[in-house]
């Protein structure tokens, strides 16, 4: 599975990514900001899945704007590196089936191909994202299994009666729904035993064999390649 993730991330380009920031209770900032970053992408020059492109088009994505106004991956990686969001064990990343998500973020930061060896992949993951939870891992716990919680993000949210804001398959909307779904699962199934459950799933990515436990020694960021500073500006989007 990791070989497939690495190959796809190395060959294909990220089109969108969404970030939602909350406090530890799941509350949004007063302004309620959710960020969606749209990347430079060419339907003529870049590799892509036709099915995925049609899905994104149906969600309202304008590929002509991505070509002209899209953010360069190098610009995004440089700003993400200095954003304070990575290499900080006080920041917790909440995701849904996130092997590809973290793969693309890692590549944007390192600006080189992902390793195909699991130990090296998870070394980079643990370094850049010291604390993370994958909702799909929580769904394997007895409570969600008994409740027959299953499916993709939208299906799980529907079962939990979490209402989406925005369009499905738009990264910003998906990001907000992921955060809301995580906290709903935590509240419904793990309110009394989260401290016991959290260490068993923290840092694990659904479908990938994590070789680093949540208690592994923290590795300094100097072990991970990061983008060199440059003078070009990020296009507005």
pTM: 0.86
Torsion angle of C-alpha atoms 184, 188, 191, 196, degrees rounded to 10: -90
Residue 117 is predicted with a pLDDT of 87
Task: Please state, in angstroms and rounded to a whole number, the distance separating the CA atoms of residues 86 and 96.
Answer: 18
The answer to whether the CB of 129 falls within 8 A of the CB of 99 is: no
What domains are defined for the chain? 2-23+35-207 (3.30.420.10)
In this prediction, residues 162-174 reach a mean pLDDT of 96
Sign of the CA dihedral running 102, 103, 108, 112? positive
Task: Please state, in angstroms and rounded to a whole number, the distance separating the CA atoms of residues 23 and 35.
Answer: 16
Q: CA-CA distances (angstroms) from residue 32 to 19, 125, 169, 178, 192?
A: 12, 28, 20, 15, 28
Q: Which residues pair with 133 in a beta bridge?
A: 94
Asked if residue 219 has pLDDT above 50, the reply is: no
Asked if residue 221 has pLDDT above 50, the reply is: no
Task: Give per-residue pLDDT as tens, 46-68.
Answer: 999 899 999 999 999 999 999 99
Sign of the CA dihedral running 202, 120, 73, 16? negative
* Mean pLDDT, the chain, whole residue set: 88
Task: Give per-residue pLDDT as tens, 117-126.
Answer: 888 999 999 9
In this prediction, residues 23-38 reach a mean pLDDT of 93
Q: Which is more confident, 223 or 53?
A: 53
Range list of β-strands (E), 51-153: 92-95, 131-134
Q: Are strands 131-134 and 92-95 parallel, antiparallel or unpaired?
A: parallel
């Amino acid at each position: 599975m990791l070989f497939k993730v690495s190959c796809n991330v190395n060959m294909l380009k990220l089109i969108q990514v969404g970030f939602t920031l909350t406090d530890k209770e799941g509350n949004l900032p007063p302004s309620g900001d959710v960020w969606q970053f749209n990347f430079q992408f060419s339907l003529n020059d870049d590799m892509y899945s036709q099915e995925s492109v049609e899905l994104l088009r149906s969600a309202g994505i304008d590929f002509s704007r991505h070509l002209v106004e899209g953010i360069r991956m190098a610009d995004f990686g440089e700003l993400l590196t200095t954003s304070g969001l990575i290499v900080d064990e006080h920041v917790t990343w909440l995701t849904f089936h996130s092997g590809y998500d973290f793969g693309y973020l890692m590549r944007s930061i390192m600006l080189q191909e992902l390793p195909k060896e699991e130990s090296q992949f998870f070394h980079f993951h643990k370094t850049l994202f010291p604390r993370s939870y994958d909702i799909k891992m929580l769904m394997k716990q007895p409570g969600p299994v008994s409740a027959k919680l299953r499916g993709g993000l939208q299906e799980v949210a529907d079962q939990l009666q979490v209402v989406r804001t925005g369009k499905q398959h738009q990264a910003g909307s998906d990001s907000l729904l992921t955060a809301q779904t995580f906290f709903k699962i935590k509240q419904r199934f793990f309110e009394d035993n989260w401290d016991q459950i959290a260490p068993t799933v923290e840092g694990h990515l659904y479908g990938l064999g994590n070789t680093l436990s949540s208690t592994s020694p923290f590795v300094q960021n100097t072990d991970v390649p990061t983008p060199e500073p440059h003078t070009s500006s990020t296009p507005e989007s």
